Amino acid sequence: MITATALHGCSLIDGEWVAGKNGEITGFDPRTNASLNPSYSLANSAQLRAATTSAKRAFESYRLTTPEVRADFLDSIADNIDALSGEIVQRASLETGLGTTRLTGEVARTSNQLRLFAETVRSGQFHRVRIERGPRIDLRQRQVPLGPVAVFGASNFPVAFSTAGGDTASALAAGCPVVFKAHNAHPGTAELVGQAVRGAVEKHEFDAGVFNLVYGRGVEIGQELAADPNITAIGFTGSRQGGLALSQTAFSRPVPVPVFAEMSATNPVFVFPGALADLDASSSLAEAFTASVTGSSGQLCTKPGLVFIPRGVVGDAFVALVAAKFKETTGQTMLTQGIAQAWQRGVDNLAAQPSVKILAQGTPGDGENAPGPVVFESDVQALLNNVVLQEEIFGAASLVVRYDSPDQLHQVANSLEGQLTATIHASQDDFQEVSKLIPLLEDLAGRVLYGGWPTGVEVGHTVIHGGPYPATSNAQSTSVGTLAIERFMRPVSYQTFPAELLPDPVSEANKWAVPREIDR
């Protein structure tokens, strides 16, 4: 089992900790804006190319690993993360201000999803084997890994969407080496988890290029990775600006590669009158809405940024409850000073729009970068006429939008940009109108909820964390759940092959016991 070591403050390239030659950065404690030791040296272009070249070399052997060996590797990473859990939580708390309770859960989620992918690899289902023994032609199909994947760490999940998070786990499960670009807001956390992955690579005696961890200047190194011919796919969670920049570069290459970028969403919630008819239910709904907006300082990609409430007595009562609950809130530390400043700009911009008013605002928290949560109110027509009202504010802010009839909700669903989630709150009395809205929400979002709140993403086999553009750059997959493995694979068909040359998943012997569709 791995044990913690001192932080190296540099990139992991081809199995070695290598001092960068392109300046340095430090992490910061967002509660005080104080810098944290050690400083991290940044890789230059030659060092980045060394990382991607080693990943390309490692692909030749790693792609051929058996399901059991690859699954054991994923389990070993999970074991190492669990062994370092205390150090990871402590460092991540310093670098993000998220708190030990939230981060302890996030570390557990990270190791659990690695083990879930290990189970997926052992099952063999992801090979998608199909066999047709036709009278004239024998055809056999399976999925093969794409090659080295560049993964970018997210600001808001320093572990679960970071070094060994969902993108890395699914790429490694598919048989793809990973070049991971650490997020500069939590460099120490990235390194600690990187040590866990490196320990597993060494334990299984894999080519060291299976996993590289690099530090660099965000835009500069991102563009270089997206353009690097050794990289065959990209996983990204972050801003729309960053995701689009990577996509443009990756698509403009002589050989374009897919970019799976999760970018922005306001995650609309559609509340029908029946859900507010009972005062106790309305109060519970207002409390849950407030908690969903303010949890983790609103820095969750599924935070409900828009909630549609009917006009009338029950709607007015709900809005009054929401205002009262927001006034009782206290700000939580945001991830960085820059993110807190961006939140303030978004709030100021929304407050300045015609037909928008501030319903209520909570109290700022102690220390730096902890603004009081805020909730606004407007109406459907203003939302339809002004795109500013539809823009994401990353942080604890949301807009209550009043509507007159369910038909207006259809207009909204047809006008909003693609979303990660769309949520319905209703009673059985509303079902006729709800049923008309559901097809529109299927076109709008990757995950449609009834009776819940979008924050909190279950990691499993059936979840979708993705959605139509601009929620993601590719709506045909997910960044959470076992279906994510298919992002980094493609189908290959083998026609009239001699039995001796067939790969194991499509061979007659099927010694890996892969599930298969035969002669259908």
* Cβ atoms 193, 221 nearer than 8 A: no
Secondary structure (3-state) at 360: strand
Residue 1 clears pLDDT 70, i.e. is over it: no
∠495-499-500 over CA atoms, to 5°?
120
Mean pLDDT of the chain: 96
Confidence of residue 455 (pLDDT cuts 50, 70, 90): very high
Confidence of residue 218 (pLDDT cuts 50, 70, 90): confident
User: In sequence order, which residues have a C-beta less than 8 Å from that of residue 173 and are 6 or more positions away?
Assistant: 70, 74, 117, 118, 120, 121, 126, 485
* Cβ atoms 349, 388 nearer than 8 A: yes
Q: What is the Cβ-side half-sphere exposure of residue 465, based on CA atoms within 13 angstroms?
A: 25
CA distance 339 to 361: 19
CA distance 444 to 446: 7
Residue 2 clears pLDDT 80, i.e. is over it: no
Residue 85 clears pLDDT 90, i.e. is over it: yes
Secondary structure (3-state) at 439: helix
Q: Work out the angle between the directed axes of helices 67-83 and 187-203 (0-180°, nearest 10).
A: 140
User: What mean pLDDT do residues 108-122 have?
Assistant: 97
Q: Could you state, in order of their start, the residue ranges of all structural domains in the chain?
A: 11-263+474-506, 269-450
Least confident range of 232-236, 289-293, 430-434, 476-480: 476-480
User: What mean pLDDT do residues 224-232 have?
Assistant: 98
DSSP code of 363?
B
CA distance 508 to 100: 51
Confidence of residue 45 (pLDDT cuts 50, 70, 90): very high
Strands (E), 4-148: 11-13, 16-18, 24-29, 34-41, 129-133, 138-145
**Which residues pair with residue 397 across a beta bridge?**
374
Q: Which of 177, 176, 187 is nearest to 153 (CA)?
A: 187
CA distance 215 to 405: 52
State which H helix or E strand residue 399 sits in: strand 397-403
Active site annotation includes 517: no
Residue 267 clears pLDDT 60, i.e. is over it: yes
CA distance 5 to 8: 9
User: What mean pLDDT do residues 442-447 have?
Assistant: 98
Confidence of residue 5 (pLDDT cuts 50, 70, 90): low
- CATH number of this structure's domain 269-450: 3.40.309.10
Residue 484 clears pLDDT 60, i.e. is over it: yes
Q: Which of 512, 488, 493, 502 is nearest to 55 (CA)?
A: 488
Q: What's the pLDDT tens digit per position in 177-203?
A: 999 999 999 999 999 999 999 999 999
Strands (E), 96-171: 129-133, 138-145, 149-152
* Cβ atoms 190, 88 nearer than 8 A: no
Question: So what's the architecture of 11-263+474-506 in CATH?
Answer: 3-Layer(aba) Sandwich (3.40)
Secondary structure (3-state) at 400: strand
Residue 520 clears pLDDT 90, i.e. is over it: no
State which H helix or E strand residue 314 sits in: helix 313-327
Write the DSSP assignment of 467-486 as a string of letters: -TTTTBS-TTS-SSSGGGGG
Pair of tokens at residue 29: 């404690």
CA distance 309 to 380: 10
∠5-8-14 over CA atoms, to 5°?
100
Q: What's the pLDDT tens digit per position in 16-43?
A: 999 999 999 999 999 999 999 999 999 9
In terms of Cβ atoms closer than 10 Å to its own Cβ (0-12, 13-18, 19+), residue 272 is buried
Least confident range of 1-5, 17-21, 178-182, 261-265: 1-5
Give pTM, 2 decimals: 0.96
* Cβ atoms 493, 139 nearer than 8 A: yes
Cis peptide, bond prior to residue 310, ω within 30 of zero = no
Residue 303 clears pLDDT 70, i.e. is over it: yes
CA distance 153 to 168: 10
CA distance 30 to 362: 20
Active site annotation includes 10: no
Q: Which residue in the list 95, 191, 224, 262 is annotated as catalytic?
A: 262
Q: Which residue stretches of 253-312 are H helix? A: 279-294
Pair of tokens at residue 168: 């890395």
* Cβ atoms 425, 272 nearer than 8 A: yes
Q: What's the pLDDT tens digit per position in 380-424?
A: 999 999 999 999 999 999 999 999 999 999 999 999 999 999 999
Confidence of residue 3 (pLDDT cuts 50, 70, 90): low
Q: Which residue in the list 176, 224, 301, 368 is annotated as catalytic?
A: 301
Q: Which residue stretches of 335-398 are H helix? A: 337-351, 380-385
CA distance 266 to 419: 7
